[in-house]
Structure 1
Amino acid sequence: MAEQNAHLLLDQCMSPHVAMAQRDHVRLDWRPPYRTLARARPVAWTCACRATLYELCEGGGQAFIRRTVQLDGKPQIFETCRWSISEARLTWTALLSGRVR
């Protein structure tokens, strides 16, 4: 029954879920947030039904990925370094497929 309920919940999700990390995945360097780009805004995100939410943020010709861990009522936020938008989008795709984490 729990498996059926989980399947129904996933059917209601509107955003993608991150695949399990592959055995040989690349580890990203996650850092506490620092001065963000002036006009950075999320342009893509994963589903908030999981404890960890990822956002692809872009602005000013640069981009980064933000990771929010939602545990115990106090979210912990980390960000990657800044990349070009094209490099960040490639990394975002790799994150979604489990090739980076």
Structure 2
Amino acid sequence: MWRDCAPRADRVRIREHTCECRTVVYELCQAGGLLFIRRTYRSDAVLMHESEWLRTADGERLWLRVLLGQAR
């Protein structure tokens, strides 16, 4: 599900995010009329990945699944 981050848009809006105090932080992002989830893993190095870019309804469903622990 997770892919390397690729610069697809000039501006990305972060609509929601999980707590910054965790090792893994998830962000619900919006750009170009699409939603995607960015996952940031912080340890010795910072690793960032993102989900596929989805229509709004599909992106919101995926975000809910991530929050409920049903998708990682």
Q: TM-score, normalised by structure 1?
A: 0.67
Higher relative contact order (CA 8 A, sep 6+): 1
Aligned to 1:30: 2
SS at match of 1:92: helix
Contact 1:43 1:58 in 2 (8 A): yes
Please identify the structure whose Cα radius of gyration is greater.
Answer: 1
Q: Distance in 2 between matches of 1:61 and 1:68?
A: 22
Aligned to 1:41: 13
Higher helix share: 1
Aligned residues: 72
Seq. identity, %: 35
Aligned to 1:91: 62
Aligned to 1:54: 26
Q: Distance in 1 between matches of 2:25 and 2:8?
A: 18
List per-residue Cα deviations over 1:40-97 (Å, max 9, x = no partner).
Answer: 211100001110000000022101000000001x210001111011211111011100
User: Which segments of 5 or more consecutive residues in structure 1 lack a partner in the other structure?
Assistant: 1-28
Q: TM-score, normalised by structure 2?
A: 0.91
User: Which segments of 5 or more consecutive residues in structure 2 lack a partner in the other structure?
Assistant: none
Q: Distance in 2 between matches of 1:37 and 1:64?
A: 12
